[in-house]
Amino acid sequence: MLQHSEIWRAIDLLADQRGMSPSGLAKRAGLDPTTFNKSKRITRDGKLRWPSTESISKILQASGATMGEFISLLNENSNQTSFQKLPLIGMAQAGAEGYFDDAGYPAGSGWDEVVFPDARDEHAYALEIAGDSMEPVFRDGDVIIVSPLARPRRGDRVVVKTRAGEVMAKLLRRQTAQRIELVSFNPAHEDRVIAVEDLDWIARITWVSQ
């Protein structure tokens, strides 16, 4: 049976994995910052208060986590969180030759490392944002975690590499057998439509440090 404490602990762990407090996660999801405060988990008359399915849906979307990932946190103990070292390079470097193989997995030398809670993807890697072209979503110095094994879906934040060597982070609007449609985070930059034959790879962003 699903326990009240397991749900709240999973929310706490999800926030911690994304480098945020529960209130920070709530704010990121467009909720009241106090939504997940410990004081709100039990009512004044001592009854257990459960988070709504809508609030959980919003934090999954905001954090880039899947429902499967959230469920896996239900039975985790915060003292048993495992970590892995992920390869890290700057976003500007990512378009250069030799950093990725044909499948879009990190390869070659020249990578730094960053320690991160287990991403459950042995091919996951980190990119450091440079400049202001992706503001206000991603800012200069932010580090994003990219999971090549996570299948991108409509509305996901993704990293795309073209065969011409251009690397960009965008919002996936639509993907068909012929093309992908991408929305820019910064309104000063145009949205993009890329033909499949011009696409090297696309991968989902699962976390960002801010």
Q: Spell out a b/e string for 70-90, using b for 16 or more CB atoms within 10 Å of the CB, else e.
A: beebeeeeeeeeeeeebbbbe
How does residue 78 score in pLDDT terms, banded at 50, 70 and 90? very low
At the second CATH level, the architecture of 4-76 is: Orthogonal Bundle (1.10)
Q: What percent of the chain has pLDDT over 70?
A: 92
pLDDT at 29: 93
Enter the CATH code of domain 85-209.
Answer: 2.10.109.10
- Count of other CB atoms within 10 angstroms of residue 111: 16
pLDDT of 77 over the 60 cut: no
Per-domain residue ranges for the chain? Answer: 4-76, 85-209
Burial class (CB in 10 A: 0-12, 13-18, 19+), 59: buried
Predicted model pTM: 0.62
Q: What phi and psi, each to the nearest 5 degrees, are found at residue 147?
A: -115, 105
Highest mean pLDDT among 39-48, 62-71, 152-161: 152-161
Do 4-76 and 85-209 share a fold? no
